[in-house]
């Protein structure tokens, strides 16, 4: 066991903790959007959870950065640029799972973290090697 793990007690996981890519209602004060998208995997023990707000479409939305998602027959956008950590105790009931939309959601997260979708990385690496360039 790692030294840091022996110094800390395991974080107790609350019952009914939402799972990865669940859409949940919330109790975050002052936050008017009705839903949050859980982007942290449920196997990661933590008293907080990474979430992305879900909002209605806005003019100028780009699909790769704000994927379109259908929730309760209404189109919303996952605002992955606004991912934040929220105490699990402020997450409410699970409305639905968006695991079926995981490719669009994960591509958006890859783009904000890497500048391009992960599936493209092998192709870009090969192209850059051919050109004698490297971005890493």
Q: Say yes or no to pLDDT of 91 above 60.
A: yes
Mean pLDDT of the chain: 85
pLDDT score of 124 more than 80:
no
Q: What is the pTM (predicted TM-score) of this model?
A: 0.78
Of residues 101, 115, 89, 117, the one with CA closest to residue 39? 101
Q: What is the pLDDT of residues 7-43, one digit of tens each?
A: 556 556 666 789 999 999 999 999 899 999 999 999 9
Query: Do residues 129 and 64 make contact, with C-beta atoms less than 8 angstroms apart?
Result: no
Whether the CA torsion 93, 98, 99, 104 is positive or negative: it is: negative
So what's the pLDDT on residue 122? 64
Q: Is the pLDDT of residue 82 over 70?
A: yes
Q: Tokens 């979430």 identify what position?
A: 51
Question: What pLDDT, on the 0 to 100 scale, is given for residue 87?
Answer: 95
The stretch 97-126 carries a mean pLDDT of: 82
Please return the burial class of 133, using the count of CB atoms within 10 Å of its CB with bins 0-12, 13-18 and 19+: exposed
* Domains of the chain in sequence order: 11-131 (2.30.30.110)
């Amino acid at each position: 066991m790692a030294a840091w793990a022996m110094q800390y007690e395991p974080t107790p996981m609350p019952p009914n903790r939402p799972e990865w890519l669940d859409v949940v209602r919330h109790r975050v004060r002052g936050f008017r959007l009705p839903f949050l998208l859980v982007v942290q995997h449920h196997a990661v023990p933590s008293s907080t959870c990474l979430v992305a707000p879900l909002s209605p479409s806005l003019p100028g939305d780009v699909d790769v950065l704000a994927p379109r998602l259908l929730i309760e027959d209404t189109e919303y956008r996952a605002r992955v640029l606004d991912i934040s950590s929220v105490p699990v105790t402020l997450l409410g009931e699970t409305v639905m799972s968006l695991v079926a939309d995981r490719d669009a959601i994960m591509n958006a997260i890859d783009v904000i973290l890497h500048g391009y979708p992960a599936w493209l990385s092998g192709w870009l690496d090969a192209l850059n090697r051919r050109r004698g360039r490297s971005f890493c």
